[in-house]
Amino acid sequence: MEKLFNECTICPRECKVNRNNNELGYCRASNQMKIGGYHLHMWEEPIITGTNGSGTIFFSYCNLGCVYCQNYDISINHIGEEITINRFAEICLELQNMNAENINLVTPTHYIPLIKEGLILAKKKGLTIPIVYNSSCYEKVESLKLLEGLIDIYLPDFKYYNNNLGKYSKVNNYFEIASLALEEMYRQVGAPVYKNNILKKGIIVRHLVLPHHIEDSKKVLSYLYHKYQDNIIISIMNQYTVVRKLRYKELNDKVLSKDYNNLINYAYNIGIRNCFVQEEESQSESYIPIFKGDTLI
């Protein structure tokens, strides 16, 4: 699998750099996994978190690059520690031994070949809890197919309907890429399956509401619902937090309560019921993980 790094086209940017020869593409990741930390995470959607927490592994680097990223310490500043495939498998088993509800892979796209080998190894050693693939949805269908049978739950973002807004993530084709990726995710795992109110298989699509872009959010929700109905779960996120001043002035504001409530009413009126919403108190830095060296606090 590591041969895929010889001319890397794992993500839609298709940089074609030789990561096995120390060449770096857009994401800046090498041919070895690097993580910002791992722990039991208590702040995911309740059907992911459960009682014991989600066994979350935060990967360093990112193939997207959102200017408003809340995990910028690891995605942009690249804080973290390099680990081997064996160590990755051990971490998965450690989290399972901590009674994690699942293994939650956060921003994993650029490490798909290594993750595949690590998950196969971990499963051989006794990993049985569901695997969650938590990504920006800026994914290649061909790369997602490499994970078929290994991923139980897909937890993608769906950021924009209007490709012009992709400027916030340094892409100009987000909707086309994300919509195809989501179709592949759905093909693999299908409609939600629960056990004791915990999601065991299926898709939760997250949409982070941005200030001054409620109309685009409505288009995203309309697209998702009319294509997938209640066969996916939608999470309408109100936790946009200004963590540093941005050159896009419109992103330096909070999402207004009246705008978010308007969006929730819209979602209800078009028929969306299988969804999560957030209170205004989620607009807080307390929802943002703190990364310090190779330790996640």
Angle, to 10 degrees, between the axis of helix 112-124 and the axis of helix 85-97? 50
CATH of the domain at 118: 3.20.20.70
- Average pLDDT in the chain: 92
Digit-coded pLDDT (tens) for 32-87: 999 999 999 999 999 999 999 999 999 999 999 899 988 766 656 668 899 999 99
The confidence score (pLDDT) of residue 76 equals: 64
How far is Cα 48 from Cα 54, in angstroms, rounded to an integer?
Answer: 6
Find the mean pLDDT for residues 253-282.
92
How far is Cα 154 from Cα 201, in angstroms, rounded to an integer?
Answer: 8
Digit-coded pLDDT (tens) for 158-217: 999 999 999 999 999 999 999 999 999 999 999 999 999 999 999 999 999 999 999 999
The confidence score (pLDDT) of residue 74 equals: 67
Q: One-letter amino acid identity for 112?
A: I
SS3 140: coil
The confidence score (pLDDT) of residue 279 equals: 80
How far is Cα 24 from Cα 15, in angstroms, rounded to an integer?
Answer: 9
Count: domains in the chain:
1
Rounded to a whole number, what is the distance in angstroms from the first to the last CA of the chain? 33
Read off the tokens for 17.
């750099």
Q: How many beta carbons lie within 10 A of that of residue 266, not counting itself?
A: 17
Residues 6+ apart with CB under 8 A from 57: 35, 38, 88, 91, 92, 95, 103, 104, 105, 106
Q: One-letter amino acid identity for 150?
A: L
Digit-coded pLDDT (tens) for 212-235: 999 999 999 999 999 999 999 999
Q: Read off the pLDDT band of 244 (50, 70, 90).
A: confident
Angle, to 10 degrees, between the axis of helix 257-270 and the axis of helix 214-228? 20
Return the closest-CA partner of residue 239 out of 78, 70, 96: 70
255 vs 289, more confident? 255
How far is Cα 4 from Cα 2, in angstroms, rounded to an integer?
Answer: 5
Residue numbers of the domain that contains 128 = 2-296
Phi, psi for residue 161 in degrees, rounded to 5:
-95, -45
